[in-house]
Chain A
């Protein structure tokens, strides 16, 4: 079958079908709309702002790619590969897909909006206190292997899960410390010092109001809770904003951690 045969048959097959909506169906919606408040612009636009965040950062991230390449090359050139004090990581890039929140692991009320798999675009998502280029070239991220990000719209909240694999545990530890400072610091997300949480090898949960949810420009404060933890050579984060359900958010973070633990356990098994 030629391509044009296939195209013709698909067009013919799709042609029959409804082309008009019954008026009653539309009136029912209009009646319902009368009882339904519109979402205020500031709230309903958060999801779309999150959508736009990554594309907006892309050009800057692209500019940072060259810089990152230089840093990685320099880092590889000076690294003593195979030394006993530099244990290699258990997690590989493909493990992130199994750890992060996704269609089959999200709560039913969350709607998956975006998956980002460009590691540099993902890496700069937490950056607030410095430019994307400076963030990407930060020595703490020199051993980045890969990263993933997903975001969701809930009933009256937005959520994101984030994960980055580093070449070794030491690299992940450095990255964890820098990101924790960024989430807590006044020039970052401004969420304070956070509380220790028993996730992974080290973890913290930061709760408060941030004015930097959608970028470096301050906006109205938004209620936030962000979990950040490190499991071996992977750094993971889960955040909820606006009217998130704290218990649900914690359960999702623990489920992410359990998936990471299962992967780590399976790989360490003799």
Chain B
């Protein structure tokens, strides 16, 4: 199928695009934390996949290759968002009902801390905690050295831990009330 699409067969590409799209959307949504931005990044990535398919040397590696292209599209999207100063909506999105009393502050802190991370760091966090990929698999997917994966994950975890611990710490009002 991939080889047919590499030769310009649009039907073959359509099959690949539908097969990849749910997985890529899941990644994009968690990296960008915004439904509209995730759909845009997915479209940009799918079109890049079509254009660059002839350069893919190992058709079996299309999943990892596509994820790499998607992460780049997310990088571009974040860069554009930061330049234009657009404020992202916070998750959760449509169809997901949250218990309003359950850790709302914690989620907000995580959103805020995650929002300060670069797309590269976000991608590593999402691939590790959402996709459950090992560090070696993340390195293979993103085509970066495993040491880089380790350092990005370390940096991201540190930022997210600080956010969680800040949320757990009592406020001045709470301390005074004791």
Contacts across chains A and B counted by CB atoms under 8 Å: 115
A31 to chain B, nearest CB (A): 10
Bin the interface of chain B by size.
Answer: 35 or more
Bin the interface of chain A by size.
Answer: 35 or more
- In the bound assembly, the distance between CA atoms of A79 and B110 in angstroms comes to 56
| Residue B149 CB within 8 A of the other chain | no
In chain B, residues 87-103, which have Cβ atoms closer than 8 Å to a Cβ of chain A? 91-93, 96, 98
Query: A6, A26, A44 — which one has the most chain B CB atoms within 10 A of its CB?
Result: A26
Task: Please pick, from A18, A36, A39, A47, the residue contacting B26 in the complex, using a CB distance under 8 A.
Answer: A18
In chain A, residues 29-56, which have Cβ atoms closer than 8 Å to a Cβ of chain B? 29-30, 32-34, 36-41, 44-45, 47-48, 51
Task: Let me know if A25 and B54 touch, CB within 8 A.
Answer: no
In chain B, residues 139-178, which have Cβ atoms closer than 8 Å to a Cβ of chain A? 143, 157, 160-161, 164-165, 168
Task: Let me know if A17 and B42 touch, CB within 8 A.
Answer: no
Task: Let me know if A14 and B18 touch, CB within 8 A.
Answer: no
Task: Let me know if A41 and B26 touch, CB within 8 A.
Answer: no
Residues of A within 8 A of B126 (CB): 14
Residue-by-residue, is B62-89 near A (CB-CB < 8 Å gives 1, otherwise 0)? 0000000000100010000000000000
Residue-by-residue, is B126-141 near A (CB-CB < 8 Å gives 1, otherwise 0)? 1001100000000000
Residues of B within 8 A of A267 (CB): none
Task: Let me know if A20 and B22 touch, CB within 8 A.
Answer: yes
Task: Let me know if B43 and A41 touch, CB within 8 A.
Answer: no
- In the bound assembly, the distance between CA atoms of A9 and B157 in angstroms comes to 11
Task: Let me know if A6 and B38 touch, CB within 8 A.
Answer: no
Residues of A within 8 A of B129 (CB): 7, 10-11, 14
A199 to chain B, nearest CB (A): 29
Task: Let me know if B51 and A17 touch, CB within 8 A.
Answer: no
Residue-by-residue, is A1-16 near B (CB-CB < 8 Å gives 1, otherwise 0)? 1000011011101111
A-B contact pairs, 24 of them (CB 8 A): A1-B165, A6-B157, A10-B157, A17-B26, A17-B30, A17-B91, A18-B26, A20-B25, A21-B21, A21-B25, A21-B42, A23-B18, A26-B17, A26-B21, A29-B17, A29-B46, A36-B47, A38-B6, A38-B8, A38-B50, A44-B51, A44-B55, A45-B55, A48-B57
